[in-house]
Structure formats: structure tokens, C-alpha cells
Structure 1
């Protein structure tokens, strides 16, 4: 389409707002005619995916590194801090998606309301972040399998089976993906809820602590609430502070992927209403499943327990399994955590394929990735993304734990860029809405804490990007430095490439396009049917 085709007038409160000619061949904001995905995810799918879709090794397995690295209170502080950043990012993307539930999600929002070059950079950055997280979760699942079978000759077989299973679920279609994630999420929620309750019982029941008493806060006293990073042993306070910083990356990996519910908006029934529900509930998810979960773990396992997963070790136990080994049924708990790793890899593969599809729709990736089957499945994008899952086979030669930590660092720094861009884009979105006289309160979801939430999130993302690899400066190696900071030049190279080749500009708030290619609510939302009986009322609360 030529740029002259897009000078339109939109009625707004009795007046008119000029929508400037920005949907040209370089931006492709209106792609409805070639966007062929179908809305097949139901409300229960979306709600369960939002609550537990990406609960995986970051929480269940990686929390062992967090606990051993900073102590129980240090890990709790790190998870709480990163939780606020994750929450700010989800509130921001939730509000933008409530306005525009379309394919491409926040990379497209960045291109549409900030700068097309930023959309290109964050889109490829997010694709890379998610596609590399798939082998992270596969590697984590394989580590957990060694609880039963530690024969290194079998590792490749297990990895191949997991990769094929994850790929197959995505290839079957979004409806099968939704059903699989619904089932996996039920398992994960049941397990983490059971672990928290059982942890409280173990902690409070007499006979589990020293001298036959209650365990209580014994491990907070011995060995203590904080563990130092071991970088400044002569300065205890500083070393403990560095210990907290050292686990921020691991904590962020635990939260990574929470935005999947917005990425699935273009394939969700009643997306505005369902995404609004999911975002409103995420605060409780963070508090219960992450913050309370890491708190209970810190009560049950001391940070100096030799069985906690270490970067250079070969232990296959997570802190939850360690705690349950001293109580009951550790094998069942380990199986549940392995299921979580499989589910998380499934979700991250979905995310990466949809981001790649959105980039291709708007000319920022090869057009072949925009190909869809007759049932609305972006099959080429899925197959290309699925191929990266087999990078997990690297763990056979390099050691599963080493590769796990390497992938975590690479993917999590990319996640900080994604969260930072989401919050930055929201600030532009907020300013543009205000400049054009659009009332945000008319959206299905809006936050009264904005724009302060986005300012908080963007500020911390910027800080975390800079400090995530601080440990390398005490013991410098080229490999550690690159894994910690390679994403910084890569992101800005992507931005500069599109900026220079396409000669893009930052959008003026009064010229932002809030209409082209965005379906109105009456097109996406059907009337809400109230629950009629007790079962339906329970389902409405849960889902």
C-alpha cells in the first residue's frame, strides 16, 4: 500500500483525529488481509496459561542457585524485586494489548508507537530470547531425569524425546497447545500449592527441627539469612549485598515469559476481556507461587546444603526435592517439576514462533515465516523455532549444569531488554493517548498506577542490564563477559541497522496511529454469559 492511501479521519468524542500516513511498505500496520491465525484459545486456556504457563526450571530448579547464592532472605529480596519489574511489564503490555489484541504484540507496539527500528530490534531480541529458552528448559528437564537415571549415555535420548514432544504439541495447532498447557498448568498449580502447604506442615510440625522441636526459622539463624557472593570476604556487608545481586539474573529467569498471555491475544477468544482478567490476577500469582514459594523453600533447606544445584556440580536435585526427600515422595515431586520444565519449553516455543510470525507479517522477517495453514497455523515459523530446541544436545558434552547456566544468562539479559522495551513503549503509548484525547479508562484494562509502574520497570531493567554480569570483573573470563553483555551491542546493532536502512523516526505523540488494522471491541468480544450453577461459579473464579 502506498502512504497516500492512509490519510483517514476517525471520529473521537464528536470531533476528528487525523491518522497520519504511516502504514506504508516499511511499517505495514494494516495486515488483516494476510494475518490468518484463528482465535481458538478459550477463556480457561488463557487464564491457566497466564497463571502457570511458564512456571518451569527457573522457579523449581533454578531457585536452588538463588538460595545457595544469597541465603533465604537474600533470595526472597531478589525475587520480590524482580517480581515488581515483571508486574510492571505485564501491566504495561496488558493495557496496550487491551487496546490492540493483534499479532506481533509488543514488538509491533514498539514499532507503531515509538520507532519502527525499536520494534525490529526488540522483535528479533525477543525471538532469540525465547527460542534459546526452549533448550534451557529442555536441559533442565534432562537434569531432573537424572534423579532416576544418571547414565550419561542416555541423556541424548531423553533430550531428543522431549524436543520431539514439545515440537509436536505446537505443530498440532493452537487448540492442542491450549489443552496441553491447561493440563500442565493444573499439574503445576496443584504441585506448587501442595508443596507450599506441605512445607508449612514440615516447618511447623514438632520433630523436624533440631532437638525434636519445630523447624521454624532455624535455618534463618543457622547458617543465617544472607549468604555472601564470596567476592569481598573481608567486607561482609558488601559481600552479602553482592550475593543478592548475583541471584537477580536467576530470579528474572523464573519470571520470564509471563507476557505469553498477551502474545497469544491474536489467537484468543474475547481477547480484551480475557487478557484483562489474566493481568488483574497476576499480582496474586507472583505473591503466592513465587514469593511465598521461595520463602517456604528458605525455611526448609539451608543455603549451605551440599545438595543444592551448583554451577559446576552434577547434583540433580532442586531445593523442593531436597526438602521432600526428608519428608515424603521425592520421586513424585521430581516428576512434577520435570513436567513443569516440559510445559515451560512448550510455552516458550509458542512465544518464539508467534513473534517470528508477527515480524514476518510486517516485513521485518522473511515473508516465508508468515505462511499459515488453512487452520491458521504459522507452520514455517513453528518448525524454524522448534529446530533450536535441539541445541540442548550441547549439554551431553559440556555438562548439563554448565550449559543450563550459560543459556540462562544469555536468555535472561535478552528478557531484560524485552521488559524494558515494553515499559518504554507504554510511556509513549500513554503520552500518545493523552495527546490525542483518548480516554484510557474506556479500555477493558487500565492501571491507575500508570505511568509510574512503567517508569519503575524501565529504570530497573536498565540497571539490571548493566549489573547482571558484575561478577566477571572479580574473576574475568572472556566467555563469562560475552554471555553477560553480548546482548547489549547486539540489540543496538539491530536497532541501528533498521534505523539506517529504513530511515525511521520516533513518532510524534499527535501522529501515532491507534486505529489502523486494530479490530474494534464489537468485532472481538462476544457478550459475557454469567454462571448459572455452582460449578460454573467455581470455574469463573478459577478461570
Structure 2
């Protein structure tokens, strides 16, 4: 009881600092839950537009605070707009990571690993990602701060590791955005569009993505809502069509197909090594799953909406990935010549397109290509959103100059957006004859970024739970507890280490090739990059601690509910309400 009172007092003390933010220009005090800037009806639309780009200035923090406390409070009180609703988070969670990794990358995975290897790899990776998302959901619901998992790493592990992970994540988004824009322009070539128009499509897609993000988080949320609906409908439609084709439907049908291709040419393409090689491919297809948590600081009601978004991952893994890929393995043999297409964004290399074409269905492959195009643009849109928020977080932690933390009155991290927009201009390298070499090495820099991000999330979750235990507090104060618990985070870390070992093995001894330095670093360059950032930060700060002591972990700054006793009472009432309902409702609430 004494510990609970102490922790409540701690939250209330910090809450006074965090949740009363004054706009220095107007002199008015704003509740940090809104930070709303209303347009002045006495000004013209142009004047209000200009005013919207002006900085939202907050009162300076107490200079007596430690750097760690200042950073924690800065991320908690960021004046980002909380415009994301439950429907936005649901669709971001369900369709956020459905992209080229599933629609096109699964083709290469099928060729290298075979249908059995694909299913096993995606099930294992999916279970790992589910554990990661559950852990991240617990952290994000408790502490919905800007920068999300980047902030958690510096706060619950130690600053140098947070610095390295954050910069690796930032590089991944800055590099992926121009790559996805180029990929979108190449996707259009499916319709035999002349190559001379490629640059025009690059410019068009670049403008579209930039325009969406200039509308702020509301623009991002609405765009992802529409993109995700299209992708989800496409997957559901394919599942229905796939079942019909397997049962013998379709113009070119020779009767019931069933598991014919699992017997000839077989379930595995290159044995265990083939399975090991596609493990990273399967992980790449889940990249972006964590995006819902990055938006926690811009969510109206994270305590209600984030748990539902985290739980939706189970359905996405089961329905969209496992079922669709099982059908693909039955419809397309891994020896199909179209799986050997030259580029990873070539729609002709998509097993979804191949299955439909081989069935003799006309017109529908073009529809799938449109979905692939939308998926590519969705990833580019998410990259500029994530990149700009990462820049803001880096600035708040002192890893970038203070000017990079500029947030305007519309809640846009403007300098971060500008930086991402400038990096997006790299997409025009598509006109260069050396574009393949440049893009391959750019991609290599962040090739393992998702593994480092997911691994750090699991470690943060374990450290957060350890901090609660050491400081005499319990999980009763958590509005959402990871369904997988601490063992889920341990499981996630183990599988991530296994994946990194597999990738090292395949990078060193590639399938069908000889060992070479170029092949190895093109697949494993991101690890030296992370180590470089980590060591540089250690040398600069001369802070040689590997972990922050569990008793010193800040478990409170950033909470929106500052009265822990009231929060515990509300949690108990919610549990009692759910337990009083029929079993079908309790089951639904557990999974959804």
C-alpha cells in the first residue's frame, strides 16, 4: 500500500509538469490531451494556413531535471494532434504491413523454400511478431509518448542502445521511402507503359505521398484507412477465389488440384537451408506491424483503442498470411518460371498474379497489380510518417539538434517531414544507370532493421516488468497486459536471434553461389551500422553502463491516467463487467 501511494504521488507530481502546457505566443494554457489550434474566423484562409505552420511553443522545462527526466517529459508532452480514431488504428493494425512482402516477396520465398518452407517460416515469424506486438501494446497503452519504441529503448534499457536503434530505424524509413516510390513506378510497367514515362510516375507518386503527410496525422490515418480496406478486400477475395480454383474451378481447370504441388515438385525447394533463407523474407513481410504503437501519442483514446489494435494481429497472421499462402502453395509450384522474374516489384513475379493467370482468368491480374501498387504507396506513406516522428523523438532525447523537434500548430513535426521529403528525392536516382547498385546498398543499410526494433521492444517489455517488480508495484495498475506475458517476450528474443543466425549463415554461404564479401554485406550490413552508432555514442558520452538499474527506471512519466488507485478500480470494474457476460462475448473480447 505504501508503494502504491508513493508511485501515485510520483505520477501526480510529474503529471503537473507534463499536462499543463502553455502556448507562449498566446499565453493560454492547454490540456496536453488536445493541443488544439483553432483557426481564427477573423483571418483569411491564407493567414490561417500560414499560422498553422508556426511553431507550437511550450514552456521550458525545469533546468534542475536530469537529462533523462527532461527527455521523458518532452516525449510525453509533444504537441502532436490526437486525431487517430479507433477505425484508423484497426485498419492500420490489420492492413498496415500487408505489402509487397506478401504480394510479391512471397514469390521468391516460394521459389527458394517451397510451399512447406513458406508456411513454417510464416507461422514461426507470425508467432514471434504476435509476441512483439503484445509487448508493445502493453507499453504503448501505459505510456503513449511520442517516438514510442525508440523512447522506450533509451528509457528502459540505456541511452546508447536507444541512440543506435533509433538511428537505424530512421535510416530504414528514410531509405525505404524512395525505394517504394521507385517500386511503384516499376509496378506500372506491368501495363507496358513506355520506360520514358517512368520518371513522370516517380514524380507523381512522390507528390501524392508528400501531400498526404502535409495534412498531418489525420491525412495519414485516412489514407491508411482507405489503403488497408483495399488490401484487405483483395486478400479476402483471393482466398475465396483460391478455394474455388483448388476445387477445380476456373477456365483452364483440369479438375481438382488439392495438394498436388506439395508432392510434385515437393514441399521443400532447398531443404533446411532454403527454409533458413526465407526466414528473413517472412519477417520482412511483417515489417510495419509495429506502426500502430508509433501512433499512440496521436491517438484519442489509447487505453481503449490500442489493445484492440494489438489483438487484431492474430487475425491478420491467421487469415491474411497463413490461409492465403497455403492456397498459393497449392496453386503455384515452386518451379514456375514466372517466379524467377528479375525484379522484386515485378507483378509477373507475384504468386497471386501467377495463380490467376494460370487459371485463365483475364482482367483480374491487372486488379491485383493495382492492389500491389496501392500496397507500395502505403508503405511509402507509412515511412514518411514514421521517419518524421522518429526525427522528433531523436531531437527530444538530444540525439539531434533542438530545431529538429519543431512541431507546428497543426501538430506536424515539420522539420522531420522536410527531412523525409528531401530524402524522398533520392527516388529520382531511378533515371541513373547505376540505380540498382545504389538502391541495393541503401537497402542493405537497414535490411535487418525490423529485427533490431522488435528485439529491443521485447527487451524493453522485460525491463518494464522488472522495474515494476523491483519498485514494489504490480501489473494490476496496467490497463492492458500482454496476453503472451514475459514469456512471450523471451520467445520473441529467441526467435529473433535464430533468424539473425540463419541470415548470417545464408549471407556467408548463399544458395547457388559462392561466398563473397559483397553478398555477405549486402545482407548483413545493418548490424555493423547499429554497432557503429552504439560505439560512437558510448565514446561521445563516456557512459559505460550497459543497463539502467531497475530501481531507477521511470515507469510513470507519460501516463495519461495519473491517479493509479482510480485506474486500478476502473480496471477491476471492466474485468467484472466482462466476466459477467456470456462465454461468446468473453472469447470475442479476449481475441478482439
2:352 aligned partner: 320
Is 1:480 the counterpart of 2:471? The answer is no
Aligned ranges 1:15-94 → 2 under 5 Å:
15=6, 24-25=66-67, 28-31=71-74, 35-94=78-137
Q: In the TM superposition, what whole-angstrom CA distance separates every residue of 1:117-138 from its partner, at most 9, and x where no partner exists?
A: 1111111111112222223332
Q: Of residues 157, 160, 166 in structure 2, which corresponds to 1:114?
A: 157
Q: In structure 1, list runs of 5 or more residues that go unmatched.
A: 1-9, 229-239, 531-536
**Is 1:303 matched with 2:338?**
no
Q: 1:324, 1:333 within 8 Å by CA — same for their partners in 2?
A: no
> Is the CA contact 1:208–1:214 (under 8 Å) kept in the aligned structure 2?
no
TM-score normalized with structure 2 length: 0.80
Change (3 A) 1:33 1:428: closer
Q: Deviations over 1:324-363 (max 9, x none)?
A: 2232421112112211111121112211111111111221
- Give 2:535's match in structure 1, choosing from 489, 496, 499: 496
CA distance in 2, matches of 1:16, 1:54: 37
Superposition deviation, residue 372 in structure 1: 1.1
Task: Verify the 8 A CA contact 1:123 1:359 in the aligned structure 2.
Answer: yes
Q: For residues 68 and 436 of structure 1, do their structure 2 counterparts lie closer, same or farther at Cα, with a shift above 3 Å needed? A: same
Paired with 1:295 and 1:263, the residues of 2 have a C-alpha distance of 31
Q: In the alignment, which residue of structure 1 is the partner of 2:550?
A: 509
> After superposition, where does 1:436-475 map in structure 2 within 5 Å?
436-474=471-509, 475=514
391-400 vs 438-447, which deviates more? Answer: 391-400
Residues 57 and 137 in structure 1, CA contact (< 8 A), matched pair in contact too: no
Structure 2 counterpart SS, 1:351 = helix
Q: Aligned match of 2:218 in 150, 170, 175?
A: 175
Q: Check whether the contact 2:143–2:557 (CA below 8 A) recurs between aligned residues.
A: no
Counterpart pick for 1:265 among 293, 296, 299: 296
Q: Distance in 1 between matches of 2:501 and 2:118?
A: 20
Q: For residues 147-179 of structure 1, give each alpha carbon's deviation from its aligned partner in whole angstroms, at most 9, with x where no partner exists.
A: 103533222221221122111111121111111
C-alpha distance 512-43 of structure 1, shift in aligned 2 (>3 A): same
Please state how far the C-alpha of 1:140 moved relative to its aligned partner: 3.0
Map 1:353-502 onto structure 2 (within 5 A): 353-397=388-432, 409-474=444-509, 475-502=514-541
Decide whether the 8 Å contact of 2:157 with 2:460 is kept in 1. yes
State how far apart, in whole Å, the 1-side matches of 2:486 and 2:64 are. 26
Worse-matched range after superposition: 418-427 or 146-155 = 146-155
- Residue 252 (structure 1) aligned with residue 283 (structure 2): yes
Determine the structure 2 residue equivalent to 1:3: none
**Match 2:310 to one of 264, 279, 300:** 279
Give the alignment's Cα RMSD to 1 decimal: 3.2
Q: Quick one: distance in 2 between partners of 1:217 and 1:404?
A: 38
Question: Would you say the 8 A contact 1:353–1:382 is kept in 2?
Answer: yes
Alignment of 1:518 onto 2:559: yes
- State which drifts further: 459-468 or 190-199: 459-468
> SS of the residue aligned with 2:448?
helix
TM-score of the two chains, using structure 1 as the length reference: 0.87
Distance 1:432 1:443, change over 3 A: same
Deviates more, 1:436-445 or 1:196-205: 436-445
Q: Partner residue of 2:185?
A: 142
Measured in 2, the distance between the counterparts of 1:90 and 1:331 equals 34
Return the alpha-carbon distance in structure 2 between the equivalents of residues 343 and 125 of structure 1: 21
| Secondary structure of the structure 2 residue equivalent to 1:87 | helix
Q: Is the 8 A contact 1:276 1:444 kept in 2?
A: no
Instruction: Measure how far apart 1:205 and its partner are.
Output: 2.6
- CA-to-partner distance for each residue in 1:223-257, whole Å, 9 max, x for gaps? 111101xxxxxxxxxxx111111112221110001
In 1, the alpha carbon distance for the partners of 2:204 and 2:243 equals 36
SS in 2 for 1:468: helix
Instruction: Return the index of the structure with the highest Cα Rg.
Output: 2
Q: Who is 1:187 aligned against? A: 230
Q: CA–CA distance in 1 between the matches of 2:395 and 2:345?
A: 41
Provide closer, same or farther for how the CA distance between residues 462 and 440 of structure 1 changes in structure 2, counting only shifts above 3 A: same
Say if 1:464 and 1:314 are closer, same or farther in 2 by CA, change over 3 A. Answer: closer
Following the alignment from structure 1 to structure 2, what is the Cα–Cα distance between the partners of residues 410 and 247? Answer: 19
Partner residue of 1:222 out of 256, 264, 274: 264
Asked if structure 1 preserves the Cα contact closer than 8 Å seen for 2:8 and 2:563, the reply is: no
**C-alpha displacement of 1:258:** 0.5
After TM superposition, give the deviation of residue 288 of structure 1 in Å. 0.9
Q: Can you give the 5+ residue segments of structure 2 that lack an aligned partner in the other structure? A: 15-62, 572-576, 578-584
Measured after TM superposition, the shift of residue 409 of structure 1 is 4.7
Query: Is contact 1:22-1:513 (8 Å) kept?
Result: no
Residues 293, 392 of structure 1: alpha-carbon distance in 2 compared, 3 angstrom cutoff: farther
Distance in 1 (alpha carbons) for counterparts of 2:437 and 2:352 = 21
Distance 1:407 1:60, change over 3 A: farther
CA distance in 1, matches of 2:261, 2:436: 26
